């Protein structure tokens, strides 16, 4: 049976720590519609995204005036969970509120 030996260079290269890139981030966006009440949007922002009253109102007004508003930036799984929670809340209260996630644009 042959014996395999490694020199120090190969051993150091094999045990060097690997650098991992941070995970891609996604922004969760609420879309404006003509039927969902503003107070419901504020409630969604407070319950699902844990926003304070002033920030929730600011985002709700951004959605109302600009047609969309970013609720937060998360990893893919967290963003997908938040989108699902918003859509479930909207469906339970019979509102057509739409929510989506999209990759964070590179600056």
Q: What are the structural domains, with CATH classification, of the chain? A: 36-107 (3.30.1390.10)
Tokens coding 65: 């005036």
pLDDT by position in tens, the chain (length 107) = 556 555 655 655 556 678 899 999 999 999 999 999 999 999 999 999 999 999 999 999 999 999 999 999 999 999 999 999 999 999 999 999 999 999 998 87
Q: Which residues lie across from 45 on neighbouring strands? A: none
In which residue are the tokens 């969604």 written?
44
Phi, psi dihedrals of residue 48, rounded to the nearest 5°: -85, -40
Taking the complete model, does pTM exceed 0.75, yes or no?
A: yes
Helix (H) or strand (E) holding 18: none
């Amino acid at each position: 049976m042959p014996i395999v030996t490694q020199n120090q260079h190969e051993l150091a290269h094999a045990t060097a720590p690997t650098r991992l890139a941070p995970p891609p981030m996604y922004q969760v966006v609420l879309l404006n519609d003509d039927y969902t009440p503003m107070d419901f949007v504020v409630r969604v922002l407070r319950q699902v995204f844990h926003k304070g009253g002033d920030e929730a109102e600011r985002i709700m007004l951004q959605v109302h005036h600009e047609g969309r508003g970013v609720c937060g930036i998360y990893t893919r799984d967290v963003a997908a969970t938040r989108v699902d929670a918003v859509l479930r809340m909207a469906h339970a209260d019979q509102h057509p509120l739409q929510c989506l996630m999209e990759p964070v644009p590179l600056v």
